[in-house]
Amino acid sequence: MSVALDIAALGARAQAMIEELGAISASPDHLTRFFLTPEHRRAADLVGRWMREAGLEVSEDALGTVRGHWHPAGPDAPRLLIGSHIDTVADAGKYDGAMGVVLGILALQEIVRAGLSRPYGIDVLAFGDEEGTRFPTTLSSSAACAGVFQTASLNATDAQGVTLREAILAYGNATDDIPKAAYATGGVIAYVEAHIEQGPVLEAEGEPLGVVTAIAGASRLSVTVTGEAGHAGTVPMRMRRDALPGAAEMALAVERIAKADRHGMVATVGRMHIDPGSINVIPARVTFTVDLRSGSDMSRREALERFEREAHRIADQRHLGVVISAFHEVTTVPCYRDLQLRLRNAVADLGHRAPLLPSGAGHDGQAMVNLCPVGMLFVRCKGGISHNPAEYASPEDMGLAAAALIRFIERFQLPQLDGATDGAQN
Ligand code: GLV
Ligand code: MN
Ligand code: MN
């Protein structure tokens, strides 16, 4: 039996849901929805309501992941997981993460409505910490599901000094329940995520959907440069120990390192804090972040070593101190070849060719791979723009993506997966 598809209706519904979710924000002027905040709570409640309306049984774990369960073969049968995240960056677009959650719910709604039966169950997951914008944790909610949550990260603090432990309690959950969030190893068949591409490849190829070969590895660093505060009007230039020009030179160094790389490395200094931050005081301390990514783990590690050497050379030359600490490190995750094939076949059923492409952006699959094989479906986005309010995917493309997930589930008769990961990105 084949589920009847109304792609236009699926797309229109996806668009309406994304608008509704996108209106839940810390600010009326733009979309900012951080992990374990009141707006995360409201978004989780809305997603839970949608899941129930789709005919799913809803639960939530200690890290706030909302789970919609469909278990035609009983609650103990193996699970296929479909998900994405509902946290955002600051001043975000509406599609990053939210779209994958919405498409998962819509696909399951159609499957439930059609009365399909399977020897396995499906959970739709809405994670809360993919962006890592509130705490320096990143992927903590998917890590909890995968059973690799690091207890030490409960002590991580946000910009207000609130620890992750305190935020979990304030959200109404108990840290003692974190181990219960983990799926049993062997009880999960695969994790599949639909996400906007966040890059320009599909648009350039004129294709609405693509299949991901691998998710690029990433390192995130916190760099603290220390000098000495002084009067901006009296200390001669040659006698200063100004932390800011040192930090600026280090930011230029990491840019130079990434530009010289031949594996498409990208490096970003996205946050910089100057102390004491006064117009007439020489900066005593600058803290900045480095986000470094590459499809080659080896070149990423070499770049990190080079940056460390360069930062110390710059600091010594300027009589500054520098401390570098890594707070996030994920290796390149190849997507499971069998899932790539199944997703491509599902797209082919709809009359489209799904190009294969790597993901430069990070995804929850980087944590879920500790639990099970990972597959990703990309949806074309306008101009390749993401992490920007101008982010956009058309209702037509989203309708096709929901339809592809439905066809993927229909074809997913056997819980056994064949084949290995595609290691082409390493
Ligand atoms: C998440 O969007 C990331 O790649 O930083
Ligand atoms: Mn995302
Ligand atoms: Mn993102």
Contact 281, 231 (CB under 8 A): yes
Spell out, as residue ranges, where the chain has pLDDT lower than 70: 1, 414-426
Contact 155, 164 (CB under 8 A): yes
Contact 154, 164 (CB under 8 A): yes
CATH architecture type of domain 7-216+332-411: 3-Layer(aba) Sandwich (3.40)
DSSP per position, 123-155: EEEEES-SS--SSS--SHHHHHHHT---GGGGG
Contact 179, 362 (CB under 8 A): no
Compute, in angstroms, the gap from residue 133 CA to the centroid of ligand 3. Answer: 9
pLDDT at 179: 98
pLDDT at 2: 83
pLDDT at 419: 54
The closest-lying atom of ligand 1 relative to the alpha carbon of residue 96 is: 2
3-state class of 386 per DSSP?
coil
- Which tokens belong to 118? 């399977």
The closest-lying atom of ligand 1 relative to the alpha carbon of residue 131 is: 1
Question: Is 361 near ligand 1, meaning CB less than 6 Å away?
Answer: yes
C-alpha to C-alpha distances, 195 to 130, 212, 255, 320, nearest whole angstrom: 12, 10, 28, 43
Contacts of 154 (CB under 8 A, 6+ apart): 163, 164, 165, 168, 175
Contact 255, 284 (CB under 8 A): no
Contact 186, 357 (CB under 8 A): no
| CATH class assigned to 217-330 | alpha beta
Is residue 131 a known part of a binding site? yes
Give the closest residue to 410 by CA, choosing from 71, 117, 99: 117
Q: Would you kindly state where each structural domain of the chain is located, as residue ranges?
A: 7-216+332-411, 217-330
Q: Indicate the average pLDDT of the chain.
A: 95
Compute, in angstroms, the gap from residue 356 CA to the centroid of ligand 2. Answer: 18
Question: Is 292 near ligand 1, meaning CB less than 6 Å away?
Answer: no
Omega within 30 of 0 (cis) for the link into 276 = yes
Give the closest residue to 364 by CA, choosing from 354, 355, 375: 375
pLDDT at 424: 32
For the entire predicted model, the pTM comes to: 0.91
Is residue 352 a known part of a binding site? no
C-alpha to C-alpha distances, 344 to 91, 190, 292, 348, nearest whole angstrom: 33, 16, 30, 6
Same-fold call for 7-216+332-411 versus 217-330: no
Question: Is 131 near ligand 1, meaning CB less than 6 Å away?
Answer: yes
Contacts of 144 (CB under 8 A, 6+ apart): 61, 62, 63, 65, 178, 181, 182
pLDDT at 177: 98
